[in-house]
Amino acid sequence: MSARQRSPCSTAGPDALSVIDNTAPAIKALCQDLGPGTLVVCEPTGGHETLLLAELAAAGIACHRADTLKVKAFLRSFGTLAKTDAIDARALARYAQERWQLLVPFALSQARQGELAALVARRKDLVDLKVAETNRLKAPGMAQVRASCKVVLRCLQGQIARIDAAIEALLAKSPSLARRIAVSRSLPGVGPRTAITLAAMMPELGSLTRRQAASLAGVAPHPRDSGTLKGYRKMRGGRTTIRPVLFMAALAASRAKGELRLFYQRLVQNGKKPIVAIAALMRKIVVILNARLRDQTQQQS
């Protein structure tokens, strides 16, 4: 299924296609036609899939939001280089039929999680714009250009403050989200922004295995070995918004008091490069948070 304004979807196998509107009534009608045990696989499309995920969760239908790179690699393995919405829909259906046992269902941890994700994404966009304008302000140039940069920076700062206030108001209305953030902040190095980002962008955290959590966060090292050659293992894949905040959390944890700092120092003393030790610390942070959130969920149930 491809979630856009009008969504081609395969409902009875890779060869059967239909097109539905990306609206709540159309998706609800589709949910009523889906049989028990159905798995819906969709792709991330810049937020257009949010309504689909919410309606599927309300209907109790399992859904997996696929990694676009994995689906593209799966499609190219058949020699298909063309791209259309119909080809994508068939590829997602075939991907689901062949890989369903390995796919992690998408979980909306609570009704307000989607709102938090939208606010966090918007805040990141504004911060990126602020960094760009700040860099332009530092560059030599005309006084009029610098004055324009200052006006834009004041506007961006005000908008960021408004988004922060909206996030705080949302968390005040959602005790479950607030608890998840509190659990994350209990780990040294994990500040409020990191905790909020993880709650928004990784709602599955707490329901995954340690390897799944590391892979979803994009901090799992992937081997590149061939015969006797042992290639350099790199972190690849995962959700692109998670790894930067985990990097900052790992830097903070490597300097704070506690077991994580000792873990980092032990790796460096054993000959690991500092950047490699930081990467290992990022992985350890997400694994620990996954375990703590899982324990909290079990205690509440």
The answer to whether 164 touches 158, Cβ cutoff 8 Å, is: no
Residue 81 backbone zone (phi > 0: left; psi -120 to 50: alpha; other: beta) = alpha
pTM greater than 0.75 (yes/no): no
- The type of residue at 225 is D
Strand partners, 21: 6
Phi, psi of 193 (to 5 degrees): -65, -40
| CA 248/CA 180 separation, integer angstroms | 19
The answer to whether 56 touches 3, Cβ cutoff 8 Å, is: no
State which residues of the chain have pLDDT below 70.
1-15, 107-111, 300-301
| CA 106/CA 161 separation, integer angstroms | 31
A 10 A CB-CB count for 294 gives: 16
Close Cβ partners of 181 (under 8 Å, ≥ 6 residues apart):
171, 192, 195, 196, 199
Close Cβ partners of 43 (under 8 Å, ≥ 6 residues apart):
1, 2, 3, 49, 65, 66, 68, 71, 88, 92
Tell me what pLDDT residue 129 has.
Answer: 95
> Would you state the torsion angle of the CA atoms of residues 165, 171, 172, 178, taken in this order, to the nearest 10 degrees?
-140
| CA 6/CA 22 separation, integer angstroms | 5
Tell me what pLDDT residue 4 has.
Answer: 47
A 10 A CB-CB count for 13 gives: 11
Distances (CA, A) of 218 to 55, 67, 70: 28, 12, 13
Query: Residue 167 has which token pair?
Result: 């996030």
User: Of 90, 47, 87, 92, whose CA–CA distance to 66 is shortest?
Assistant: 92
Tell me what pLDDT residue 113 has.
Answer: 81
Given the DSSP bridges, would you call strands 62-65 and 39-42 parallel, antiparallel or unpaired?
parallel
Tell me what pLDDT residue 168 has.
Answer: 95
| CA 88/CA 53 separation, integer angstroms | 18
Strand partners, 10: 17
| CA 237/CA 201 separation, integer angstroms | 15
Tell me what pLDDT residue 7 has.
Answer: 55
